[in-house]
């Protein structure tokens, strides 16, 4: 398998809104105005997993840092999880669903091949005038969706955009495969983007992809050539090496794109896959772990939901204050990666 992982990301922009775009629409700066999360009630502990598969609490915690994860109820779907997170985000923003112009859901575990999860969410919210579509970027999906929403606002096309990441990985796991079933959990997170007249949210965006690594982590689908087993498959050691490399590369690149130094960054919120990945990235970047927000121990890897869930908890725990510079950085199947710098103005 050839690899381009040592190359620079293929897409990087610096957000600069101009007063009027070519269509005569007034361009704005995207700002996070609301945030919310939802975690299913059921907690699946490592001790319970010891009864399901050949593993142990010490084996899981020493290799992943995970002690528990949430499992969706049989009546829950990616859309209903996204609904609860979105309602919380709308409450925080003070925005009525009727004011939404666009809904984007990042998920790779929707209840339908089509229609989009975002279409279902639009109806559940009662956001009648909003356009709606999904983005499947696996664990990078929220970054893809956030980048897309920012472009619609900075172009002057829309003013209010809802971005949700929602996943139910428990339904695509082989519960006899200890290399994967111990890693993932279910959940949803969401943010509301609004239009501001001055820079206040996304300062720069970096996205990248290496399609030669599609066989490193993937889930077969019903329309492909397969044996009818739609379980997540992953080559763990290769994912680890890839993840550390691109977290560091994307973080450095997006900070430079924003005209900042690493010392200017107050908090890094990475995709929550594995504490060893985050700690290794911390050492490689020369950034202390105190500047990384970590909650993977409580929820496991919630894929596209992990970054917005972590963002919400960082706000709740007082880890983010007005004016802070943040980096949100994700990586996942594709192989894909992406990062966004944010000047926090959420109050």
Q: How far apart are CA 104 and CA 121, in angstroms?
A: 9
Token pair of 319, please? 């880890």
Q: How far apart are CA 286 and CA 79, in angstroms?
A: 39
* Known catalytic membership, residue 150: no
Hey, which residues does 336 pair with through a beta bridge? 209, 332
Closest among 267, 294, 301, 266 to 280, alpha carbons compared: 294
- Which letter, b or e, does each residue of 73-83 get, where b requires 16 or more Cβ atoms within 10 Å of its Cβ? eeebbbbbbbb
* Known catalytic membership, residue 301: yes
**217-218 and 325-332 as β-strands: parallel, antiparallel, unpaired?**
unpaired
Are 290 and 313 spatial neighbours (Cβ–Cβ below 8 Å)?
no
Closest among 239, 229, 192, 200 to 336, alpha carbons compared: 239
3-state secondary structure of 101: coil
Hey, which residues does 234 pair with through a beta bridge? 217
- Residue 16's CB is within 10 A of a number of other CB atoms, namely 11
108, 139, 181, 201: the active-site residue: 139
Q: How far apart are CA 24 and CA 70, in angstroms?
A: 47
Burial, 318: exposed, middle or buried (Cβ in 10 Å; 0-12, 13-18, 19+)?
exposed
209, 271, 274, 325: the active-site residue: 271
Token pair of 103, please? 């809904």
* Known catalytic membership, residue 139: yes
209, 274, 301, 325: the active-site residue: 301
3-state secondary structure of 258: coil
- Residue 226's CB is within 10 A of a number of other CB atoms, namely 11
Q: How far apart are CA 301 and CA 271, in angstroms?
A: 8
Q: Which residues are catalytic?
A: 139, 271, 301
């Amino acid at each position: 398998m050839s690899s381009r992982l040592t190359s620079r990301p293929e897409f990087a922009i610096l957000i600069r809104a101009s007063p009027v775009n070519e269509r005569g629409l007034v361009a704005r700066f995207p700002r996070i105005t609301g945030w919310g999360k939802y975690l299913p009630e059921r907690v699946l502990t490592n001790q319970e997993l010891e009864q399901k598969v050949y593993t142990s609490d010490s084996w899981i915690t020493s290799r992943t840092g995970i002690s528990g994860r949430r499992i969706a109820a049989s009546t829950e779907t990616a859309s209903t999880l996204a609904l609860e997170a979105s309602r919380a985000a709308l409450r925080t923003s003070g925005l009525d669903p009727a004011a939404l112009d666009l809904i984007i859901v990042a998920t790779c575990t929707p209840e339908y091949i089509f229609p989009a999860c975002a279409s279902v969410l639009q109806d559940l919210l009662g956001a009648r005038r909003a356009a709606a579509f999904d983005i499947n970027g696996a664990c990078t999906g929220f970054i893809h969706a956030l980048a897309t929403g920012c472009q619609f606002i900075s172009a002057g096309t829309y003013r209010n955009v809802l971005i949700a990441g929602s996943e139910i990985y428990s339904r695509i796991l082989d519960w006899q495969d200890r290399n994967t079933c111990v890693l993932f959990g279910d959940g949803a997170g969401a943010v509301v983007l609004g239009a501001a007249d001055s820079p206040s949210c996304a300062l720069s965006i970096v996205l990248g992809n290496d399609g030669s690594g599609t066989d490193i982590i993937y889930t077969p689908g019903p329309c492909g050539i397969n044996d009818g087993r739609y379980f997540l498959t992953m080559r763990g050691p290769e994912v680890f090496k890839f993840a550390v490399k691109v977290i560091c590369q994307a973080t450095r690149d997006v900070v430079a794109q924003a005209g900042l130094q690493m010392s200017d960054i107050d908090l890094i919120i990475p995709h929550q896959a594995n504490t060893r990945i985050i700690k290794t990235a911390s050492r490689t970047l020369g950034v202390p772990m105190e500047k990384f927000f970590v909650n993977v121990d409580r929820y496991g890897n919630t894929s596209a939901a992990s970054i917005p869930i972590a963002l919400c908890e960082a706000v709740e725990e007082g880890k983010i204050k007005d004016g802070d510079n943040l980096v949100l950085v994700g990586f996942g199947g594709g192989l894909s990666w992406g990062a966004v710098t944010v000047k926090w103005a959420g109050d």
